[in-house]
Amino acid sequence: MNTSWFVVLSAFIFCVGATGVMSRRSPLVVLLCLELMLNAGNLALVAFARMLGNEEGQIFALIVVVVAACEVVIGLGIIVGMFRRRLPIDVDQMTELRG
């Protein structure tokens, strides 16, 4: 199968994720969409690895999976913490970093 199909799919998933990150207000969904973007990247890596016939892209994909897992742990932890302190679960209201 032609590599371009995988790349097109990967780009589509990436755009879905990016749109989600920018348009949704729930931090949970934002995290989810981030995962989508990461995995879109993974898909592209694996696809190109297959095309070139070596394993380096796959190794990178594995590393990205590990990083994504860590990131999700932290992100979810923050969200749980916010929930416990009864803070609004809404990214539009989390503007404490405004200068």
Which structure tokens are listed for 59? 């190794």
Query: 97 exposed, middle or buried (CB, 10 Å; 0-12, 13-18, 19+)?
Result: exposed
String of contacts with other proteins for each residue 24-53, x by CB under 8 A = -x----x-----------------------
- Structure-token match 């200068």, residue found: 99
Of positions 3, 4, 23, 26, contacts other proteins by CB under 8 A: 23
User: Which segment (22-30, 57-65, 68-76, 81-89) binds other proteins by CB under 8 A?
Assistant: 22-30
Measure the CA–CA gap between 71 and 44, rounded to whole angstroms: 20
* Chain residues that interact with other proteins, rule: CB under 8 A: 18, 21-23, 25, 30, 91-92, 94-99
